[in-house]
Every structure is written in structure tokens, then in C-alpha cells.
Structure 1
Amino acid sequence: MALDKSKLEKGIKQLLEDMMQREQNSFDEFAKRLATTIDAYVKEGEIEYLGGLVNSGGAVTGTIQGTIK
């Protein structure tokens, strides 16, 4: 699945709205929820591998040719 920036923006906006409703600040909760939102966004990405790596019986070498979707 390709990265969906608008979904990330909505998640961050929802988090900020939720935090503004709190009567007490919670930096720990905000940090944890923001990290979770970003983590979910990044995990939706795909790497399209086009080539560039070789293995001649030893370690894999080369430079990856590809893109992140």
C-alpha cells in the first residue's frame, strides 16, 4: 500500500484535538500517541525493489535500486 499523507495528517489532527480536550497536560501520552500514528504511517509504505544487489556465495553487496511508495 502506498503512503497516504492525508491519513497521517488526519491522525495528527485528531490527536491534537483529543489532547486539547484534556484538563491536564500529558506530554507522555502525546508523545506515545504521536509516535504510534507515525509508526502506523511508515509501516504502510512499500519498497519497490528494481535490482542492484548481488550475492556470489558470500555477503550481499551492491546498491539497492528502487523507490519507496
Structure 2
Amino acid sequence: MALNKQALKQGIVALQQEMMQKTEADYNYYAERLATLIDAFVKSGMVTVQAGIPVSTAGSPTAQTGATTSTGTGTIS
């Protein structure tokens, strides 16, 4: 799933409108809500990793296990 910039923008605007209705500033509340919006935005993205990461395997030909042996490069969409 692609990152939804519009939803993040709407969430920030809603938070700002909510903060304007408060009679006293609450910076901790604002920071917590904003951090939650950003966290949800980033976690909504899909990470695609390039094919071809080298692996090392062990086990019989029909039951192998393995792990990557180098770092892969990914992109968030």
C-alpha cells in the first residue's frame, strides 16, 4: 500500500483545529498526537527490497534454511 500523504495532511489539520479549541496550550498532547499521526503514516507504507540479496543456506536439498549475508536496499512506496 502506498503512503497516504493526503490522510496525514487531514490528520494534522484536524489536530491543529482541535488545538485551537483548547483554552490552554498542551504541547505534550500535541506532540504525542502528531507523533502518532506520523508513526501511522510511515507504518502504512510498503517496503520493497531489491532482488538478489546473497544468502547462505544449510540443510538437506529438500529442507534448507538460510539467511541473508549482506544488506539489502529497499524503497518505501
- Please classify the TM superposition score into its range, dividing by the shorter chain length: 0.7 to 0.9
User: CA offsets, 1:22-67, max 9 Å, x none?
Assistant: 0011000000000000011111000122313212248633342442
Which structure's CA Rg is the greater one? 2
- Given that 1:51 and 1:66 are in contact with CA atoms closer than 8 Å, whether structure 2 keeps it comes out as no
CA distance in 2, matches of 1:10, 1:47: 23
Corresponding residue pairs, total: 69
User: What's the TM-score, normalizing by structure 2?
Assistant: 0.76
Q: Which runs of 5+ in 2 are unaligned?
A: 58-65
Q: Which moved more, 1:12-21 or 1:48-57?
A: 48-57
Letter aligned with residue 67 of structure 1: T
Report the RMSD for the aligned CA atoms in angstroms. 1.8
TM-score, normalised on structure 1?
0.84
- Where does structure 1 lack aligned partners over 5 or more consecutive residues? none
Runs of 4+ residues deviating >3 angstroms? none
Instruction: Name the % identity.
Output: 45
1:61 to 51, 56, 69: 69
